[in-house]
């Protein structure tokens, strides 16, 4: 009897011990809009898993945050499947149309007004609808008819305009006015609607319904696709039926990085985010941070970013088209070599680094993070590129096309909308996917888990990087998303700051070392974080205070 009681006690101790090592996860969602977060939670409550929630969240974001992502856009869904402990990156990046050419935005005979940022010529073939179908079919438990239902309802019945979206409409007012279908939804007799005005999108509701009822093939093939292509060509685009019919999401192996006692699972090319963060963390591993003061750490991190962004410009592109020396770039020996060129007391002017061999991005884009009670995770960053993408709605479809073609290096040495330069590796090519900065990331160590990502063009990478470093320093989820932002991207040779990001002393410490520092008028990023503390079992969400988002745990 006594032995039995002891044995029971022993079993309980073992269970308690195991629970302390790996407590049960909870359902958690953090996204850029409360309606999207609520839709994700609804799926989790109604028998769906993290992947179904991801479909519902993306679809609602397509409706309520149309300046940032949508049916006409694309992105990366980083998935962790608890069963089998498997990570995968679903690459739903837009693909260049087959008729795209390296000089299509620079050729002397190009039609006046054609550009890589506005109108149908700016758009790659969208990946989001294909991603939703892939997630539902391969990983989810619910049909699209269920996970798209909240988005359809909000598109049909409308949602109240909020200040952040109103501001985006104001910035793009003239361009939206030029696309009749966009003007009908987002403008009120040509004017910017008031906060609180109901934004109804019946055409978008019908497009989402088509996906929900007939499946993704109805979008990429057949009669509806024909009408889509005809509309785009009528307005000057170059898409063909074949472009849509051949579009596929690509399952890629995410990049796995190691830093201190943690493993990072993050975006692989055609995102540049993981490679840049990997190079930076490797360079930082050459120093003992615990013995360095705050200003020196910041200086070192910015110098590492400068060097990694130089490599981004020269080497990185679509892995299906270019050979990239990833093993070398991510090796500890390479980082050690790079670190020897960093001076602790002095910034290195970017033009002192080897130039990029020529032969060889406000509230647009969105990120959300999901964890479910089985331990499945999603970190997804999705986009139409700039505010409202190409600011062009194909007549009758209700969705905005992306302007992701501008993420290509459209002319050697010429900066894109995010001031990024590139080379041949990221030149435009038929069916090629443009290099991205979107960096959805999981970080896991014995202390717990971090799920993180953000919009912000090139600043996504420094934003996610500083968030990860903050997590190592013990910051809470709320502190990580609120952290003032500091960025360097090699060219322009500038440390850029959000308003008030650094104190006068901190700024002077950078300038004494020779950094050129520029404080902007705008904030950037909209970080959505979930943390899970393995010691306490606590799961916490945090949504960037700069945005309108919300997190929920249950």
Side-by-side strand order, sheet with 550-553: 250-252, 86-92, 74-81, 377-383, 366-371, 28-31, 550-553
Of residues 365, 381, 439, 459, which has the active-site annotation? 365
Q: What are phi and psi of 520, to 5 degrees?
A: -85, 180
Which residue in the block uniquely carries the two structure tokens 């999603």? Answer: 378
Q: Is 266 or 436 the residue whose CB approaches ligand DON more closely?
A: 436
Question: Is residue 182 within 8 Å of residue 199, measured between CB atoms?
Answer: no
Question: Shortest gap between Cβ of 272 and ligand DON (angstroms)?
Answer: 8
Is 365 annotated as catalytic? yes
- State which residue, 460 or 497, has the beta carbon closest to ligand DON: 460
* Cis-peptide, bond into residue 492, ω within 30° of zero: yes
CB closer to ligand DON out of 276 and 495:
276
Q: Provide, rounded to whole angstroms, the least separation between the CB of residue 122 and ligand DON.
A: 11
Judged by beta carbon, residue 299 or residue 487, the one nearer ligand DON is 487
Here the tokens at position 109 are: 């005979």
The Cα-based distances of 547 to 30, 34, 236, 351, 356 in angstroms read 12, 11, 35, 36, 36
The minimum distance between CB 364 and ligand DON, in angstroms, equals: 4
Task: Judge contact between 13 and 30, C-beta under 8 A.
Answer: no
Number of neighbours of residue 477 by Cβ within 10 angstroms: 29
CB 362 within 8 A of CB 384: no
Residue with smaller CB distance to ligand DON, 301 or 527: 527
Q: How far is the CB of 526 from ligand DON (least distance, A)?
A: 8
- Tell me which residue of 454, 408, 457, 402 sits closest to 431, measured CA to CA: 408
CB 383 → ligand DON: shortest distance, Å? 5
Question: Which CB atom, from 224 or from 368, has the smaller least distance to ligand DON?
Answer: 368
Residues contributing to the site for ligand DON (CB under 6 A): 361-362, 364-365, 383, 385, 404, 407, 436-438, 455-457, 460
- From the CB of 75, what's the least distance to ligand DON, in Å? 8
- Total number of residues shown for the chain: 554
Residue 331: burial class (beta carbons within 10 Å; 0-12, 13-18, 19+) = middle
Active site residues: 365
């Amino acid at each position: 009897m006594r032995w039995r009681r002891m044995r029971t006690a022993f079993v309980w101790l073992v269970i308690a011990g195991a629970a302390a090592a790996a407590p049960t996860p909870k359902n958690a969602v953090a996204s850029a809009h409360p309606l999207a977060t609520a839709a994700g939670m609804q799926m989790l409550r109604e028998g769906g898993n993290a992947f179904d929630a991801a479909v519902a969240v993306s679809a609602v974001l397509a409706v309520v945050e149309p300046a940032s992502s949508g049916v006409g856009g694309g992105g990366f869904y980083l998935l962790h499947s608890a069963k089998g402990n498997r990570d995968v990156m679903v690459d739903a990046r837009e693909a260049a149309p087959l008729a795209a050419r390296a000089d299509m935005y620079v050729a002397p005979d190009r039609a006046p007004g054609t550009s890589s940022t506005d109108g149908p010529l700016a758009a790659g073939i969208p990946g989001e609808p294909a991603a939703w179908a892939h997630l539902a079919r391969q990983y989810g438990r619910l049909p699209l008819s269920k996970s798209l239902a909240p988005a359809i309802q909000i598109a049909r019945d409308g949602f109240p305009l909020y200040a952040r979206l109103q501001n985006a409409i104001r910035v793009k007012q003239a361009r939206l006015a030029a696309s009749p279908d966009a003007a009908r939804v987002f403008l009120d007799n040509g004017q910017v609607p008031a906060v609180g005005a109901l934004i109804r999108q019946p055409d978008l509701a019908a497009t989402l319904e088509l996906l929900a009822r007939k499946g993704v093939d109805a979008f990429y093939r057949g009669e509806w696709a024909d009408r889509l292509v005809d509309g785009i060509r009528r307005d000057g685009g170059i898409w063909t039926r074949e472009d849509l019919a051949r579009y596929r999401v690509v399952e890629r192996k995410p990049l796995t990085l190691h830093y201190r006692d943690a493993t990072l699972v993050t975006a692989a090319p055609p995102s540049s985010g993981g490679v840049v963060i990997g190079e930076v963390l490797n360079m930082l591993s050459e120093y003992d941070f615990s013995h360095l003061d705050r200003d020196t750490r910041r200086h070192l991190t910015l110098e590492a970013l400068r060097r990694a962004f130089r490599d981004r410009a020269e080497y990185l592109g679509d892995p299906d088209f270019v050979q990239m020396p990833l093993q070398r770039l991510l090796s500890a020996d390479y980082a050690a070599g790079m670190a020897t060129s960093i001076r602790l007391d002095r910034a290195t002017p970017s033009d002192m680094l080897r130039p990029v061999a020529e032969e060889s991005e406000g509230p647009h884009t969105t990120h959300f993070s999901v964890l479910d009670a089985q331990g499945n995770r999603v970190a997804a960053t999705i986009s139409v590129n700039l505010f409202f993408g190409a600011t062009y709605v194909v007549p009758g479809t209700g969705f905005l096309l992306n302007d992701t073609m501008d993420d290509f290096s459209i002319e050697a040495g010429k900066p894109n909308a995010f001031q990024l330069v590139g080379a041949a590796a990221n030149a435009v090519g038929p069916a090629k996917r443009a290099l991205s900065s979107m960096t959805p990331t999981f970080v896991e160590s014995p202390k717990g888990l971090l799920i993180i990502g953000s919009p912000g063009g090139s600043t996504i990478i420094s934003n996610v990087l500083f968030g990860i470093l903050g997590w190592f320093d013990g910051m809470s989820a709320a502190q990580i998303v609120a952290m003032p932002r500091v960025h360097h991207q090699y060219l322009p040779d500038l440390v850029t700051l959000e308003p008030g990001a650094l104190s006068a002393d901190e700024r002077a410490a950078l300038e004494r070392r020779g950094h050129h520092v520029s404080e902007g008028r705008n904030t950037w990023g909209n970080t959505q974080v979930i943390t899970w503390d393995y010691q306490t079992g606590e799961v916490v969400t945090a949504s960037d205070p700069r945005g309108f988002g919300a997190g929920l745990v249950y």
